[in-house]
Chain A
Amino acid sequence: MRNVCVVAGGQSVWGMRQASERDMFQEAGKAAFAENPAITNKDVDGLIVGSAYTERCSFQTHLAPVVAESLGIKPVNICCRVELLCATGSSGIILADAMIRSGKADVVMVIGGEKLFTPQRWEVNYSELASVDHDWDGTQGLGLPPPVFSAVAQEHMKLYGTTEEQLAMVSVKNRRNGLNNKKGQYQEAITLEQAMNARAIVRPMKLFDCCPVTDGAAAIILAAEEKAKYLTDKPLVYIRGTGQATLHNMSANMRNWSTWESLRIAAKQAYAKAGITAKDVNVAQTHDCFTISEIIETEDLGFCEKGEGGPFVQAGQSDFGGQVPINTDGGLLSCGHPFGATGIRQGIEIMHQLRGDAVRQVEGARIGLTHNLSGFIAAHTVLIYGRDLD
Chain B
Amino acid sequence: MSIVEGKYAVTMDMWPLQSKEMTRIYPFYDNLKEGRFTTTRCRDCGTRAFPPRVVCPECLSENLEWVDLPLKGQVLIVTEEEVGVPVGFETPLIHAMIKLDDQLTVFARVMNCKMGELKEGDEVKLVVYPVDPLPVDGKKGAINLQERVFYAFEKA
Contacts and interface: CB of A to CB of B under 8 A. Distances in A.
Interface of A: 122, 125-126, 128-129, 133-144, 146-148, 150-151, 154-155, 199-203, 250-253, 257
B81 A146 contact: yes
B120 to A, nearest CB: 9
B55 interface: no
B86 interface: yes
Nearest to A199: B83
Contacts of B106: 251-252
Given A141-B93, A252-B106, A151 B77 contact: yes
Given A250-B51, A252-B51, A139 B15 contact: yes
Contacts of A144: 84, 86
B102 to A, nearest CB: 13
Contacts, number: 87
A148 B108 CA distance: 10
A141 B16 contact: no
Nearest to B93: A141
Contact of A136 (B51, B104, B152): B51
Nearest to A143: B86
B95 A140 contact: yes
B79 A139 contact: no
A135 B81 contact: no
Nearest to B110: A140
B78 to A, nearest CB: 8
Nearest to A203: B80
A146 B107 contact: no
Contacts of A155: 77
Contacts of A200: 82-83
Contacts of A151: 77, 79, 95, 97, 107
Given A140-B152, A202-B79, A129 B14 contact: yes
A252 B151 CA distance: 15
Interface in B75-100: 77, 79-89, 93, 95, 97
A162 to B, nearest CB: 14
B125 interface: no
Contacts of B50: 250, 252-253
Given A125-B87, A139-B16, A148-B107, A202 B82 contact: yes
27 contacts: A126-B88, A128-B86, A133-B51, A134-B16, A135-B51, A139-B14, A139-B15, A141-B86, A141-B89, A142-B107, A143-B86, A144-B84, A146-B84, A147-B79, A147-B93, A147-B107, A151-B77, A151-B107, A154-B77, A199-B82, A200-B82, A200-B83, A201-B81, A201-B84, A251-B107, A252-B106, A253-B50
Contact of A201 (B12, B77, B83): B83
